[in-house]
Structure formats: C-alpha cells, structure tokens
C-alpha cells in the first residue's frame, strides 16, 4: 500500500482469479466521510510487531492484535454493526 497526503494506492496480489488488481482511495469531499483519515487511523492502531502485511487485524479488549482477521470474522462484522445500531 502506498500513500501520500491525498490518496492511497492499494495493490491486491494473489487474487482468486490470479490477476493482480489495484485501486485508489481518494480524499473525500467536505460533506462525506474522510476515508483516507480512517485508513490512516487503522494503520496507526496496528501493533508494530505485526509480522504480516494484511490490512485487517483482530481487535480484542480495546486493542488491536497481531493476528490477521479471517474471512469468517470479517463476515460477522456486518451483524455486529447491525446489532450495535
């Protein structure tokens, strides 16, 4: 992942279709959510001892863990968000 003050360039390698993908996350308008700020906040919360490059890591007892988030945990996030709301 590459970033500067205005955008993030995300490269996805080893995809299911064996074709590399990339996309850009741009800084948003004043009226919408600051996605770049959220990504920076997520990166800042990661423990420095994380031994992998996966973006999503576990979050337990108010802290980020070094363990990468699995597909089942990722799939349960929408249920947790809906219950919270």
3 — pLDDT class (breaks 50, 70, 90): low
Domain with 69, as residue range(s), is 2-84
On whether the CB atoms of residues 66 and 50 are closer than 8 A, the answer is yes
pTM recorded for the entire structure: 0.60
Q: What is the pLDDT of residues 30-75, one digit of tens each?
A: 777 778 788 888 888 888 888 888 888 888 888 888 888 888 988 8
- Total domains in the chain come to 1
Q: What is the pLDDT of residues 10-29, one digit of tens each?
A: 888 877 888 888 888 887 77
Residues 6+ apart with CB under 8 A from 19: none
DSSP one-letter string for 10-74: EEE-S-TTS--EEEEEE---TTS--HHHHHHHHHHHS-TT--S--S-EEEETTEEEEEEPPHHHH
């Amino acid at each position: 992942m590459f970033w500067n003050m205005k955008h993030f360039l995300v490269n996805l390698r080893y995809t299911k279709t064996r074709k590399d993908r990339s996309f850009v996350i741009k800084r948003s308008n004043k009226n919408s959510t600051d996605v770049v700020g959220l990504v920076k906040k997520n990166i800042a919360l990661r423990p420095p001892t994380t031994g992998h490059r996966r973006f999503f890591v576990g979050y337990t007892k108010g802290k980020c863990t070094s363990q990468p988030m699995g597909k089942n945990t990722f799939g349960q996030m929408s249920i947790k968000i809906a219950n919270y709301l």
